[in-house]
Structure 1
């Protein structure tokens, strides 16, 4: 039984990492030909927190830090800053996961929205202190709004595409991954 649970956890981890890299690849593609007025949502962040609320045992902290560090490098952001902030936010969610699991989706969405906002403010604060270049505040607010509006769609997509759902009490590690 423990081998089955371990296999399902590993499969869930690889599925998450694969989806994250697919979203990063899509983000790097030059799909726009001109001016972009409305920045797109951070779907990798949405996927990470949707997965973390539902299956925290599938994504260890080192995986989150590593994936967002790769994203920092690929998107030419200050290396490690966003990765560290996401890691802090994800560990805050992981510490409260049992309470979040029992809450209805609207409460989860509100909590994740507040956490995303705090993370983005924290990023801007640290970047300003370190005298790093900052994006326009209006663009950051638009990206925040796009990200929180995309969160329910990412949760629905993860549920529909890969069967990501909240485990029942006492059912940690058991999901649809791995048969």
Structure 2
């Protein structure tokens, strides 16, 4: 069993916060005066899902909620809705990581695609129920596709630049006991 203070965990958490800060600063910079034709990807969400699948112990729930809630406020989304959906999606991915250990990249991409699609559909349904104005369906689908397109790049950067690799396991565990 690991100690309560593992320096590698805290270094990775600081790296995560630095990455999120850099992505948010770039996203908020007025780099163009014209409106973008294709919505950009949600890089922070890709980082969250990639890291939770590889090292579920690095990103605690409170850190994920805090980061995505700050994003909600900065991007003027309904506060808490996307945060809740990201929390549920990341916990589904965390459970998958604990259940299977290292997942083949094709299976991982399929799981992430299904999770992101479910999150997008749930957001549209909940906003429709609340009668909140929504972006165009085509814009939201382009955003989903651009997020899925950037996910493999984020995974490669996470593994090779940040060193977020799955922790070696000594076999499956149930309730902390080796099976």
Map of 1:32 onto structure 2: 32
* Secondary structure, counterpart of 2:166 in structure 1: coil
Map of 2:120 onto structure 1: 120
RMSD, aligned CA: 1.8
Map of 2:159 onto structure 1: 159
Distance apart, 1:3 and its partner CA: 5.2
Distance apart, 1:50 and its partner CA: 0.4
Map of 2:74 onto structure 1: 74
Structure 2 residue 138 is the aligned partner of structure 1 residue 138: yes
- Decide whether the 8 Å contact of 1:53 with 1:100 is kept in 2: no
Distance apart, 1:17 and its partner CA: 1.6
- Decide whether the 8 Å contact of 2:53 with 2:96 is kept in 1: no
Q: Distance in 1 between matches of 2:30 and 2:4?
A: 41
Distance apart, 1:5 and its partner CA: 6.0
- Specify which structure has the higher proportion of helix: 1
- Decide whether the 8 Å contact of 2:113 with 2:148 is kept in 1: yes
Distance apart, 1:35 and its partner CA: 2.9
Distance apart, 1:160 and its partner CA: 2.1
Distance apart, 1:98 and its partner CA: 2.8
**How many residues end up aligned between the 2 structures?**
171
Q: Distance in 2 between matches of 1:131 and 1:91?
A: 28
Structure 1: state its 5+ residue gaps: 172-179
1:170 and 1:18, CA in 2 relative to 1: closer, same or farther beyond 3 A?
farther
Map of 2:104 onto structure 1: 104
1:137 and 1:28, CA in 2 relative to 1: closer, same or farther beyond 3 A?
same
Q: Distance in 1 between matches of 2:131 and 2:100?
A: 36
Task: Select between 56-65 and 93-102 the one with higher mean Cα deviation.
Answer: 93-102
Structure 2 residue 27 is the aligned partner of structure 1 residue 15: no
Q: Distance in 2 between matches of 1:4 and 1:69?
A: 27
- Decide whether the 8 Å contact of 2:56 with 2:98 is kept in 1: no
